[in-house]
């Protein structure tokens, strides 16, 4: 995972599908990214606790038969807003990177007296 | 399950200095459920239990990664935050302040003592607000304040013989002089009251351990001296010193009692 903010966006994105506990969130991320993000699962929990403290998600303890209870997290209204913000920011960022990487002018650019050739 | 247990013990050691007991147990339960589920997932693809647990732990990551966003453990050589270092200093200051308040109260300045108690409580609450590391300091501070209030309560409810120093009347039986002394006493009394100090505090500065009293035509006011030793029993002009405790029928007895802020002042009839 390149940036902590990326993991936050990914977690909020997973939770938009519905309430999930930590293990389910981690599993869902693995299913979607096929391991590309390579996030340590333990890193997920401090993030969940921070998001809960900030009010973006709400954690609820759910009892289980014969097993310890699970804490199920769900997006709050504030969390939906945060997700929308992340989505817009990511699209802007990805679009900018995409534009640079796909730029194919092949013109010469003079910069500070040096000649730089941008290859198409 | 040995690997998971060992991991949870390590995680607990990392988290315990930063979290209170309830939150700590929640975090450990959450981590344990995750690790069990993950280990079961590895077992389902054919790994032996111990290896499955080891793989689950590796996927979860190290305990220090989990705890790195939290304040560092107490005693850590690096990254010890200022708030952690300040906790014992805050407690020591509060302790000194509380002891000072006790002394202030014993010296008779209840108003200052009360303001000080409020200040200590305010200081404590501001210091601990939202910081689990300060919880122990808050509890200690609360215990010190509770002890102080208990001492105050005992001093208020159980006046002793040594707390009273009767004063010989020195009035004249002549009506005119006695009347003037009565007026003079009332004026002094009001002056002391206006100054915001109980009479005991003002008189000590002049008389040391002895307390004064003001007498009028047919009665006098006996001042209360809490700093007097228990063995000090001076016979009054009116007979025996007051009983150890307030008489149950003091309101109807020949001795009248007046409630001065913070203490009882007996008003005795002369002769």
pLDDT of residue A88: 92
Bridge partners of residue A57, in order along the sequence: A75
Please report the residues numbered 65 through 94 in chain A whose beta carbons come closer than 8 angstroms to any beta carbon of chain B.
67-71
| pLDDT grade for B23, boundaries at 50, 70 and 90 | confident
- Residue A19 in this model has a pLDDT that exceeds 50: yes
pLDDT over 90 (residue A76): yes
- In degrees rounded to 5, what are phi and psi of residue A103? -70, 120
Smallest Cβ–Cβ distance between B34 and the set A22, A50, A69 belongs to A22
Give the model's pLDDT for residue B86.
60
| Chain A residues close to B36, C-beta within 8 Å | 67
Q: Is the Cβ pair B34, A43 closer than 8 Å?
A: no
Residue in B28, B33, B65 to test binding to A, most A beta-carbons within 10 Å: B33
| Contacts (Cβ under 8 Å, ≥6 apart) of A85 | none
> Does the beta-carbon distance from B26 to A43 stay under 8 Å?
no
Residue A33's contacts (CB-CB under 8 Å, 6 or more residues apart) are: A10
Q: Are B15 and B27 in contact (CB under 8 A)?
A: yes
**pLDDT at residue number A66:** 81
Chain B environment of A49 (Cβ under 8 Å): 27
The pLDDT tens digits of the residues spanning A23-52 come to 899 888 888 877 677 677 888 888 898 899
Q: Can you give the CATH number for the domain in which A46 is found? A: 1.10.10.10
Residue pair A10/A29 in contact by the 8 Å Cβ criterion: yes
The percent of residues in chain A predicted with pLDDT above 90, rounded, is: 27
pLDDT on residue B220: 42
Residue ranges per structural domain of chain B: 2-67, 82-157, 161-269
Among the ranges given (A61-70, B72-81, B183-192), the one the predictor scored with the smallest mean pLDDT: B72-81
Buried/exposed B223-246: b ≥16 CB within 10 Å, e otherwise = bbbbebeeeeeeebebeebbeeeb
Mean pLDDT lowest among A52-61, A76-85, B73-82, B145-154: B73-82
Measured CA distances, B258 to B185, B213, B220 (Å): 15, 14, 12
Query: Which chain A residues touch B70 with a CB distance below 8 Å?
Result: 46
For tokens 């007498």, what's the residue? Answer: B215
| Cβ-defined contact of B59 to A67 (cutoff 8 Å) | no
pLDDT, mean over chain B? 58
Q: Whole-model pTM? A: 0.45
Confidence of residue B152 (pLDDT cuts 50, 70, 90): low
pLDDT digits (tens, 9 = 90+) for B77-122: 333 445 555 666 666 776 777 677 666 666 655 566 666 666 666 6
Chain B residues with CB-CB distance to A21 below 8 A: 33
Interchain pair A23, B38: CB under 8 A: yes
- Identify whether the C-beta of residue B75 lies closer than 8 Å to the C-beta of residue B81: no
What DSSP designation does B222 have? P
User: What total number of domains does chain A contain?
Assistant: 1
Residue B180 has pLDDT above 60, yes or no: no
Contacts of B60 in chain A (CB under 8 A): 40-42
Give the contacts of B35 (CB within 8 A, at least 6 positions apart): B4, B7, B8, B53, B56, B57, B60
Is A42 within 8 Å of B33 when comparing Cβ atoms? no
Is a pLDDT exceeding 90 seen at residue A74?
Answer: yes
Q: What is the mean pLDDT of chain A?
A: 81
Q: How confident is the model at residue B212 (pLDDT cuts 50, 70, 90)?
A: very low
Judged against a pLDDT cut of 60, whether residue B17 lies above it is answered with: yes
Q: Contact B261/B271 with Cβ under 8 angstroms? A: no
Count Cβ atoms within 10 A of the Cβ of residue A58 and give its class: 0-12 exposed, 13-18 middle, 19 or more buried. Answer: middle
């Amino acid at each position: 995972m390149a940036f902590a903010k990326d993991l936050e966006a990914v977690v909020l994105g997973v939770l938009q599908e519905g309430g999930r506990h930590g293990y389910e969130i981690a599993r869902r991320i693995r299913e979607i990214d096929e391991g590309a993000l390579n996030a340590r699962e333990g890193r997920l929990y401090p993030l969940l606790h921070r998001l809960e403290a900030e009010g973006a998600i709400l954690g609820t303890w759910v009892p289980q038969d014969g097993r310890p209870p699970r804490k199920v997290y769900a997006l709050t209204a504030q969390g939906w807003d945060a997700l929308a913000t992340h989505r817009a920011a990511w699209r802007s960022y990805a679009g900018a990177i995409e534009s640079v990487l796909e730029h194919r002018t092949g013109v010469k650019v003079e910069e500070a007296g040096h000649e730089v050739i941008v290859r198409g | 399950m040995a690997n998971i247990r060992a991991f949870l013990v390590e995680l607990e050691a990392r988290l315990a200095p930063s979290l209170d007991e309830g939150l700590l147990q929640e975090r450990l339960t959450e981590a344990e459920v995750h690790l069990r589920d993950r280990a079961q997932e590895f077992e389902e693809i054919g790994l032996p239990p111990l290896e499955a647990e080891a793989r689950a732990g590796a996927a979860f990551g190290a305990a220090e990664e989990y705890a790195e966003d939290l304040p560092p453990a107490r005693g850590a050589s690096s990254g010890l935050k200022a708030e952690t270092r300040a906790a014992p200093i805050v407690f020591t200051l509060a302790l000194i302040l509380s002891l000072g308040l006790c002394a202030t109260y014993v010296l008779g300045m209840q108003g200052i003592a009360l303001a000080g108690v409020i200040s200590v409580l305010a200081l404590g609450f501001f210091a601990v607000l939202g910081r689990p590391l300060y919880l122990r300091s808050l509890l200690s501070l609360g215990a010190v304040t509770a002890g102080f209030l208990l001492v105050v309560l005992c001093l208020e409810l159980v006046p002793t013989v040594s707390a009273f120093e009767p004063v010989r009347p020195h009035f004249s039986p002549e009506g005119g002089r006695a009347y003037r002394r009565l007026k003079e006493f009332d004026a002094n009394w009001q002056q002391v009251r206006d100054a915001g100090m109980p009479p005991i505090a003002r008189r000590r500065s002049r008389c040391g351990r002895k307390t004064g009293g003001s007498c009028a035509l047919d009665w006098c006011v006996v001042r209360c001296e809490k700093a007097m030793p228990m063995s000090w029993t001076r016979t009054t002009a009116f007979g025996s010193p007051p009983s150890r405790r307030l008489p149950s029928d003091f309101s109807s007895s020949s001795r009248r009692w007046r409630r001065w802020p913070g203490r009882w002042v007996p008003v005795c009839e002369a002769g």
